[in-house]
Amino acid sequence: MSERVVKAGVNKQPTNLRAKVNKLLSKAGLDWATANTFEDSLIIHLAKNVDHDVVADLFGFSSRKVVTDKYNGNLMQLSDALNGVYSRIKTTGY
């Protein structure tokens, strides 16, 4: 908690958590990472062993599809890449 001046005097309020996380990551040499990076990593790790509905409830997502999309994210990107390559190959109709 840090002191913050408000109209009625000094009040203890939390400073921006995102700024604190970014500063910590910067000091650790992880400038490329964000808090969301770690959240996604945790979701993917949990989704390997726990039902996606349970993970969605834990993180407050509206449906298990959000968890499934994060869990299968790399798979979906690879599929799109392969489809892009094969879509350029002309077939001769054998």
Burial of 52 (0-12, 13-18, 19+ CB in 10 A): buried
**pLDDT score of 9 more than 60:** no
Distance CA 41, CA 23 (A): 20
- Tens of pLDDT, residue by residue over 36-84, are 788 888 888 899 999 999 999 988 888 888 888 888 876 656 667 777 7
pTM of the model: 0.50
Q: What pLDDT is attached to residue 5?
A: 60
> What digits encode the pLDDT tens for the residues 13-41?
555 666 777 788 788 888 887 777 888 88
pLDDT at position 53: 92
